[in-house]
Each structure stands twice: as structure tokens, then as C-alpha cells.
Amino acid sequence: MVSAVNLTTYLFEVILSHLVLTSAVLLVALTAISWYIRDSHKVGGFSQKHVFITGCDSGFGNLVARQLDGKGFHVIAACLTEKGAADLSALASPRLKTLLLNVTDSESIRRAVEFVSREVGERGLWGLVNNAGRSTPIGPTEWMDVNDFTKVLDVNLMGVIEVTLQTLPLLKKAQGRVVNVASILGRLSLTGGGYCLSKYGVEAFSDSLRRNMVHFGIKVSIIEPGFFKTAVTQRDLIEADLRRLWARLPQEVKASYGHTYIDNYVKAQNFSLGILCSPDLSKVTWCMEHALTACFPRTRYSAGWDAKLFWIPLSYLPSFFQDFVTNLLLPSPKDERM
């Protein structure tokens, strides 16, 4: 028979375990509710705020420019081409202003910032969205030369740095926001070339900028998209550039990979992009908008199911496991000299 003492002890333990479980569930629920309420608070006066966005010819920049314009912001959209600027203007309200900007050209940046300064006046600049970027040349590291790296780094990293430095006085006036578009490839380097390097650099630059500028009321957010259907992931352009890189390699290097490697590489990359790339760009532009409109913007925003459920979790795992998974995505070289 079970003694009364043992039965009492057992019941006490059961009740205690239920209380602990209930308390934990309540704590999680209260935390989630508090986070949701905090996340939902918005700043006011959109019609009095100016936002400067780079890379607005297409993709994320084009969509977020129209999105913010629809919210009543004074949007200054920087495009690389006259066609991009004209097409965007045709889709937006008269309030949206466009200008031409090459983020690799210091003089072009200077002229753009002068234009922005005249537009914002003493109010200052509420938001800067560093969105302009490029992906190619991208591919195996050995296929690159230094110029291939700098072509990407000049746009994706140095362009972000120079545009930000030149607009900081305007941002300080408004105690505004900086939104930098990085990538999940700024957490996990999947391929060679300057793209992953540039996005790692954007992460580091944004972190240091955030810590420096908090004293002036400026908030800095990083957007980390997964794979989306934009010009950066346009398969025909990436394939053409990969074949250009392959064609110029010495025969000795080609032989070390095997003559079928380029075709296998292109097939694997196109297959991965076809599966992973989402056409819903609003998942990214919602993050940009929240970073500009929330009272308490997040430090980092992940966008896309692949970023949230696969790439970012993978980035926290040990390096040997990351290497194993990423090596499954691309073919292995087959040395023909053996």
C-alpha cells in the first residue's frame, strides 16, 4: 500500500510541475504580447518626413519607394538610369522625387546629397535606405581576379558607406533612421566573389554605426533577405557571367575542375534559385517600412521563409555542419589530370 506521506509527496510534485509549466506558458505568452504591442507602436507625421532610397530602378527599392509614397512620405528615389526614374515617376504621386545616382561615383553622391539637402531643409532627413546592390561577378573564388571583387564591393559596401557618411548631418537633424540592406549571405558565405564579403561588411558597418549614432537619436536597422526574384538573382545574367569567368580560366585550372563542371555548376545554381527565390518582394519592403515607421525598430529583420527557417538557423550551427550542408548544394570538382 502507498503510504499517506508518499501519496501526499506525489500529489505535491504533480501540482508543482503543473504550476511551473503554467507559469512558463504564461511568461512566454506575456512576452509575446508585450513584444507585439511594442512592435506595433508607430511614429506620426509621415507627411512631414523625407526618405532617401537608393537603387530604385527595380526590385525592393522600386517597390518600397511606391509603398512609402502611398503612406504619405516625401520619397526621394535614386535610380541608376533615366528609364528607371521615368518608369517609377509614372507609377507614383507627384510628391515622389527621383534623381540619378551612381553609388560608386563620389561626385554623383555629392550632387544627390545636395539635392536631398535642398528638399529636406531644416527638418533634416528622416530615413536613408541603402538598397542599391549587385551580385555579379559571383562564383568559385579561384575564378575571380581582384577587379571582380572590387566591382561588387564598390557598390554593395563602399557605396553604402559613402552615401551614409554624406547624409549623416541631415539624419542627425531629424534624429532619423538608417536602413541597410544586407543579406542572409552576410551571415553565411555560400559562394566566392565580392557579394558575401560585401554583405558581411554591411553587417559590421551597420553595427558600428548603430552604436556610434545612438547618442544622436539615430536608429540603424539591417534587413537580411533570403532569396527573392530581383535583378540580383536573375539567372540568365548570373549564368552568362559564370561562363565568362570560366572561359578566361587557364586550361590547367579548368582541367582541375573537369570539363563538365561549369554545366553542372550552372544547373545546380539555377535549380537552387528556382526553388528558393520568392516573387513576393513585399516581405522585404514590409521590413523596410517597419524600420522607418516603428517607434522601436528592430536591429535586424529577416525576410523570407528560407531566411527564417533555414539559413539563419544554419548560421548558428558549427562550421563543420555548415560546410557539409553548403557543399551539398553545388557539384564537386572532378580533376581530369589524375
Any idea what the Cα angle at residue 209 is, between residues 203 and 122, rounded to 5°? 130
Task: Report the chain's mean pLDDT, rounded to a whole number.
Answer: 93
3 state SS of 57:
coil
Asked if the peptide bond before residue 137 counts as cis, ω within 30 degrees of 0, the response is: yes
Helix (H) or strand (E) holding 129: strand 127-130
| Domain definitions of the chain by residue range | 45-227+279-328
Residue 1 has pLDDT above 70, yes or no: no
195 is catalytic: yes
Beta strands in 161-276 (DSSP E): 177-181, 192-193, 219-225
Closest CA to 198 of 240, 137, 145, 249: 137
Q: Residues 211-228: pLDDT tens digits? A: 999 999 999 999 999 999
Any idea what the Cα angle at residue 269 is, between residues 268 and 271, rounded to 5°? 65
Closest CA to 192 of 256, 254, 250, 144: 144
**Pairing outcome for strands 192-193 and 138-139:** antiparallel
Q: At the top level of CATH, which class does the domain 45-227+279-328 belong to?
A: alpha beta
pLDDT of residue 259: 92
For range 128-156, the mean pLDDT: 97
Q: pTM of the predicted model, to two decimals?
A: 0.89
- Cα distance between residue 304 and residue 278, in whole Å: 7
- Give the DSSP letter of residue 310: I
Any residues with CB less than 8 A from the CB of 6 and at least 6 apart, and which? none
Helices (H) and strands (E) in the chain, counts: 14, 9
Q: Residues 147-179: pLDDT tens digits? A: 999 999 999 999 999 999 999 999 999 999 999
Could you tell me if 63 and 314 are in contact, meaning their C-beta atoms sit under 8 angstroms apart? no
Name beta bridge partners: 139.
192
Closest CA to 184 of 130, 237, 143, 226: 226
- Give the DSSP letter of residue 2: -
pLDDT confidence band for 338 (50 / 70 / 90) = low
Grid cell of 47 as nine digits: 507627411
Residue 2 has pLDDT above 60, yes or no: no
Residue with cell 507609377: 91
Active-site residue among 10, 36, 195, 265? 195
